[in-house]
């Protein structure tokens, strides 16, 4: 009996000692209740969607992989422009009083995206417009001169070409599949500080009537975009190119959470035309349009409530020769329904010059078809179609 009691007391002493050590070093082991497991984070299209987590558990997501995929293809663009020489620079008296110091060259900083291993780079037209020299600095530290392949002021896009080996190229995404709320990253060179990645979401799609470009169909995002980001990449959470960062809404010049990017669907069409032809060819019929409002439709006694009111027709232009008149309301161009001036502009621009197009028109109570022979759109016409 005494031996049994001795063994019991020793076992209790050892158990208490173990309990003391565990309570001191690993108190969580003594927590009541089963240990909850954290479900994995399933990836759905572009966003990371957290599963239901236990209370007090913080969900964390990283977009490092997307940044590593896209960032090597984003370049910094340094432009230079020779300043105008003062007309009095050769005057001896002028040089005596003011010296003969040469004026400093004007420089600018922007961003661009390498879109093919052959060296084609997408950027904004306003980044390279009117400059004398263009130098690109790659993410790996290489620097090289670039040549302009072509520009398109109507969409504010430009294509550059560099001759280097082992160029990283970004993968294209499908901007038509973007949804409001999708995660996006903006990559560029803001304020010339060096390559920077910021994150946000798609805030809106199809933004237009902003007065920035002739053709507007912007992706709006709250990812931080600042001066110097122009021409940089807007990518999804998988590192695929979704847009070219173009503009910000700001009263101070800094980021206020409203930035705009040109969808990659538009950028690819423009890029292909510039590489193939050197210019972007668009259709034009020579009319002055205006959105049809319910008040205008009622005052004209029109049976339609959606369409584009033609307020002017260029004499001798395609629309005039086809029989279109001021006061007509265009409701369809070919097989495309048009409900506002932006849709009319896009539909007409998509037509091939020297082709024929049928416009469905509401003229008072009568609906008729007008056939026009499409002309080529003159450069930089913002007010007519």
Catalytic residue among 76, 152, 154, 156: 156
Q: Which residues pair with 32 in a beta bridge?
A: none
Whole-angstrom Cα distance, residue 300 to residue 280? 38
**Is there a catalytic annotation at residue 156?**
yes
**Nearest alpha-carbon partner for 225 in 194, 250, 251:** 250
Catalytic residue among 76, 111, 175, 230: 230
Q: What 3-state DSSP class applies to 22?
A: helix
CA 245 centroid distance within chain: 4
Place of tokens 């027709």: 313
Q: How many residues does this entry show for the chain?
A: 385
**Is there a catalytic annotation at residue 126?**
yes
**Nearest alpha-carbon partner for 234 in 257, 200, 261, 271:** 261
Whole-angstrom Cα distance, residue 199 to residue 67? 10
Catalytic residue among 76, 111, 126, 222: 126
Whole-angstrom Cα distance, residue 218 to residue 135? 28
Whole-angstrom Cα distance, residue 345 to residue 321? 19
**Could you report how far apart the first and last alpha carbons of the chain are, in Å?**
109
Active site residues: 126, 156, 230
């Amino acid at each position: 009996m005494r031996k049994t009691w001795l063994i019991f007391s020793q076992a209790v002493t050892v158990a208490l000692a173990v309990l003391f050590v565990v309570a001191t070093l690993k108190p969580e082991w003594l927590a009541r209740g089963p240990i909850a497991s954290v479900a994995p984070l399933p990836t759905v299209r572009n966003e990371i969607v957290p599963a239901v987590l236990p209370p007090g558990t913080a969900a964390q997501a990283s977009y490092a992989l997307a940044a590593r995929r896209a960032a090597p293809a984003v370049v910094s663009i340094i432009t230079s422009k020779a300043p105008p020489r003062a007309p009095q620079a050769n005057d001896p008296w002028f040089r005596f009083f003011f010296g003969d110091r040469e004026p400093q060259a004007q420089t600018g900083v922007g961003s661009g995206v390498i879109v093919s291993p052959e060296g084609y780079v997408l950027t904004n037209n306003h980044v390279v417009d009117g400059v004398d020299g263009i130098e690109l600095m790659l993410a790996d530290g290489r620097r090289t001169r670039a040549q302009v392949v072509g520009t398109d002021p109507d969409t504010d896009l430009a294509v550059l070409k560099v001759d280097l080996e082992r160029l990283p190229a970004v993968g294209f995404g499908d901007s038509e599949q973007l949804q409001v709320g999708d995660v996006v990253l903006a990559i560029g060179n803001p304020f010339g500080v060096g390559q920077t990645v910021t994150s946000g979401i798609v805030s809106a799609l199809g933004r237009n009537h902003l007065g920035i470009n002739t053709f507007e169909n912007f992706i709006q995002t709250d990812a931080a975009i600042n001066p110097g980001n122009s021409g940089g990449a807007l990518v999804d959470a998988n590192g695929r190119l979704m847009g070219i960062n173009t503009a910000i809404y700001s009263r101070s010049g800094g980021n206020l959470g409203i930035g705009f990017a040109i969808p990659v669907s538009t950028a690819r069409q423009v890029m292909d035309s510039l590489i193939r032809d050197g210019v972007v060819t668009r259709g034009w019929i020579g009319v002055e349009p205006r959105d049809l409002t319910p008040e205008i439709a009622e005052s004209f006694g029109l049976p339609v409530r959606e369409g584009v009111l033609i307020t002017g027709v260029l004499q001798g232009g395609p629309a005039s020769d086809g029989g279109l008149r001021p006061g007509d309301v265009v409701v369809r161009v070919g097989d495309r329904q048009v409900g506002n001036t932006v849709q009319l502009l896009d539909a007409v621009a998509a037509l091939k010059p020297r082709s024929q197009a049928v416009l469905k028109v509401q003229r008072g109570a009568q609906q008729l078809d007008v056939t026009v022979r499409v002309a080529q759109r003159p450069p930089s016409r913002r007010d007519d179609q």
